[in-house]
A and B are shown apart, each in its own frame.
Chain A
Amino acid sequence: SAVISQKPSRDICQRGTSLTIQCQVDSQVTMMFWYRQQPGQSLTLIATANQGSEATYESGFVIDKFPISRPNLTFSTLTVSNMSPEDSSIYLCSVDRGIYGYTFGSGTRLTVV
């Protein structure tokens, strides 16, 4: 199955600042997905990142708050902008492996103080 490297693994940030999370996949993929997992909750899709086009955001998530880059078929970044304590969550990237299902990175645990 795919190997996804995600970093940083955790960070503590001041409110009002921004954090960029990186996701590197060991092979080329068309789409990459970014999820948020709030404390004690399940995973919620933030956006789908397609190489060469604008990311598609889910209801409740906007580009100004969560800008995404997808410069090539193995890499993507998610930025959490102008952070508040409500943004404290685990952020995960994922790729679709077809018949092998979806693979997830180990996540970035973000705490905003």
Chain B
Amino acid sequence: QKEVEQDPGPLSVPEGAIVSLNCTYSNSAFQYFMWYRQYSRKGPELLMYTYSSGNKEDGRFTAQVDKSSKYISLFIRDSQPSDSATYLCAMSVVSGNTGKLIFGQGTTLQVKP
């Protein structure tokens, strides 16, 4: 079993739809949770970063963490064609001064005009 599970999709939605992206994890020691967006032929770009259960909102993006269920989500409101990309969840455990990231497989999203 992978430490982080993420449905690779692809996910195709019409412009303006609400998108829900999800990851589950097995390691209860994970403390930090991130969502990255990766456009084709680019490096990952950090979208959201949180370390507590609950919701965190930034513009059209909302990150949700449920540590009791080991489940995180990213919601995108009013989706735009420019949101078409691969979305990666990532988690880390900080031990001493080491904090390596464990990534999900990534979900490919296409937003159609």
CB distance from A50 to the nearest CB of B (A): 8
Structural contact, B43 and A107, CB atoms closer than 8 A: yes
Interface residues of B in 51-66 (CB under 8 A from A): none
- Taken together as a complex, chains A and B put the C-alpha atoms of A109 and B6 apart, in Å, by 24
On whether A102 and B101 interact (CB within 8 A), knowing A42-B88, A43-B88, A107-B42, the answer reads: yes
Structural contact, A105 and B98, CB atoms closer than 8 A: no
Interface residues of A in 13-65 (CB under 8 A from B): 30-31, 33, 41-45, 48, 56, 58
- Taken together as a complex, chains A and B put the C-alpha atoms of A31 and B92 apart, in Å, by 15
Residues of A near B103 (CB, < 8 A) are 42-44
- Taken together as a complex, chains A and B put the C-alpha atoms of A31 and B96 apart, in Å, by 12
Residues of B near A107 (CB, < 8 A) are 42-43
Structural contact, A109 and B101, CB atoms closer than 8 A: no
**Size of chain B's interface in residues, with CB distance under 8 A?**
23
Q: Classify the secondary structure of B's interface with A.
A: strand
Interface residues of A in 45-98 (CB under 8 A from B): 45, 48, 56, 58, 92, 94, 96
Q: Classify the secondary structure of A's interface with B.
A: strand
**Size of chain A's interface in residues, with CB distance under 8 A?**
26
Most chain B C-beta atoms within 10 Å of own C-beta, residue among A6, A42, A102: A42
Q: What mask results when residues 73 to 113 of chain B are scored 1 for a CB within 8 Å of chain A, else 0?
A: 00000000000000010101000011111111110000000
Which partner residue on chain A sits nearest B101 by CB separation? A102
- Taken together as a complex, chains A and B put the C-alpha atoms of A58 and B3 apart, in Å, by 15
Residues of chain A having any CB pair with chain B under 8 Å = 1, 6, 30-31, 33, 41-45, 48, 56, 58, 92, 94, 96, 99-107, 109
Further contacts, 5 of them, CB under 8 A, given A48-B100, A106-B42:
A1-B46, A31-B98, A41-B105, A56-B98, A102-B90
